[in-house]
Amino acid sequence: MRPVKRVAAIHDLSGFGRASLTAIIPILSTMGVQVCPVPTAILSTHTGGFEDYSFVDLTDSMEEYINHWRKINLEFDCIYSGFLGSNRQIDIVSRFIDSFSTKDNLVVIDPVMGDDGKLYTTMDDDIVKNMRNLIKKADIITPNFTEAAYLLNKSYKENITEKQVKEWLVELSEMGPRTVIITSVPDSESNKNTSVIAYNSRDNVFWKVSCLYIPAYYPGTGDAFTSVLVGSLLQGDSLPIALDRGVQFITSCIKASYGFNYPKREGVLLEKVLENLKMPVVFSSYELLK
Ligand code: PXL
């Protein structure tokens, strides 16, 4: 066994704004996990709320980069992909999974495509179509509510019932992944909450963790949530505990940030709460859904 768990993280590097690799690396490192990035692109900032950002597409160099890893027989405990800029990149990730997945490692795909009912500006219908294929190869997917709707070709509606969310989860798991986690699910009974709802098809169980809805949108919180989830599972936690740790961390990030008056597009003040990730889980609030 390796002394430190190792993740291949296939994401872009956005220099400013605390999204993608600039969130993933500090979170997983703090949790004692080695991050090996496969950079897909370099941007001056993420695309949420900034204009005229610089963008260098690294698709052409990814094959050679990955071939070197194949040649030196690298092995990973987890393959974790997120924001992908083109259909060719989706193809490269698919082949990466074919080469590096084993019966013991974890393939986590965060199908980053949009939020708030809309696709991000760099995404289109072709990307959605190809993402539907890519998730077939995942053990775990972590779409937000908007991305789940796009993957299932359903309309985004804020007054969804828990029963309908469960149907969405089962439908998504039938596309391939054993575990499906939908984040930012609107609460039909209270507009003060949002939930993370998960389904594990192997045990046929649903889990829910509710969190206080704070009306502030910070980019990069999806990357932070999935990173904590990955770190927690690699530390040996159960799925509901990993969900709980993810939600608690994002809540602490937002609470640490919300009282300061600065542009939301700069992301949550991760640096103020990273050390929380070293603390044991003292209380948990997950529910088993019947
Ligand atoms: O947090 C997801 C993400 C990752 N990478 C880039 C993004 C975003 C979301 O806006 O723009 C470049």
Q: What is the pLDDT of residue 284?
A: 79
**DSSP-derived secondary structure for 230-267:** HHHHHTT--HHHHHHHHHHHHHHHHHHHHTS-S-GGG-
Q: What is the pLDDT of residue 85?
A: 85
The answer to whether the CB of 219 is under 6 A from ligand 1 is yes
The answer to whether the CB of 135 falls within 8 A of the CB of 151 is: yes
Q: What is the pLDDT of residue 138?
A: 98
CB-based burial label for 238 (10 Å; 0-12, 13-18, 19+): middle
The answer to whether the CB of 220 is under 6 A from ligand 1 is yes
Q: How long is the chain? A: 290
Tokens of 192: 């003060």
Tokens of 220: 């990069």
| pLDDT of 213 higher than 80 | no
The answer to whether the CB of 223 is under 6 A from ligand 1 is yes
| pLDDT of 216 higher than 80 | no
End-to-end CA distance of the chain: 38
| pLDDT of 212 higher than 90 | no
Give pLDDT tens digits for 20-36. 999 999 999 999 999 99
User: What Rg do the C-alpha atoms of the chain give, in angstroms?
Assistant: 18
Give pLDDT tens digits for 147-191. 999 999 999 988 899 999 999 999 999 999 999 999 999 987 777
CA of 124 to the centre of ligand 1 (A): 15
Residue 124 in 3-state DSSP?
Answer: coil
Q: What is the pLDDT of residue 199?
A: 98
The answer to whether the CB of 178 falls within 8 A of the CB of 200 is: yes
Q: What is the pLDDT of residue 157?
A: 87
- Give the percent of the chain with pLDDT over 70: 99
* Closest-lying ligand 1 atom to the alpha carbon of residue 122: 11
The answer to whether the CB of 18 is under 6 A from ligand 1 is no
Could you tell me the CATH superfamily of domain 5-289?
Answer: Ribokinase (3.40.1190.20)
Mean pLDDT across the stretch 197-204?
Answer: 97
Helix residue ranges, H only, the chain: 21-30, 59-71, 87-100, 125-134, 145-152, 162-174, 221-234, 239-258, 270-273
Q: What is the pLDDT of residue 122?
A: 86
Q: Phi/psi at 73 (nearest 5 deg)?
A: 55, 45
| pLDDT of 141 higher than 80 | yes
Distances (CA, A) of 251 to 59, 181, 203, 269: 34, 17, 28, 12
CA of 48 to the centre of ligand 1 (A): 7
Neighbour count for residue 290 (Cβ, 10 Å): 5
41 pLDDT band, cuts 50/70/90, is: very high
Give pLDDT tens digits for 44-102. 999 989 999 999 999 999 999 999 999 999 999 999 999 998 999 999 999 999 999 99
Q: Measure the CA–CA gap between 188 and 195, rounded to whole angstroms.
A: 10
CA of 13 to the centre of ligand 1 (A): 9
The answer to whether the CB of 110 is under 6 A from ligand 1 is no
The answer to whether the CB of 245 is under 6 A from ligand 1 is no
19 pLDDT band, cuts 50/70/90, is: very high
The answer to whether the CB of 23 is under 6 A from ligand 1 is no
Q: Any idea what the Cα angle at residue 187 is, between residues 180 and 224, rounded to 5°?
A: 50
Q: What is the pLDDT of residue 158?
A: 85
Q: Considering the entire predicted model, what is its pTM?
A: 0.97
Mean pLDDT across the stretch 238-265?
Answer: 95
123 pLDDT band, cuts 50/70/90, is: very high
The answer to whether the CB of 12 falls within 8 A of the CB of 56 is: no
Distances (CA, A) of 184 to 24, 165, 198, 209, 228: 19, 12, 12, 11, 16
* Closest-lying ligand 1 atom to the alpha carbon of residue 12: 5
Ligand 1 atom 12 nearest Cα: 46
Q: Measure the CA–CA gap between 285 and 181, rounded to whole angstroms.
A: 16
- Give the percent of the chain with pLDDT over 90: 88
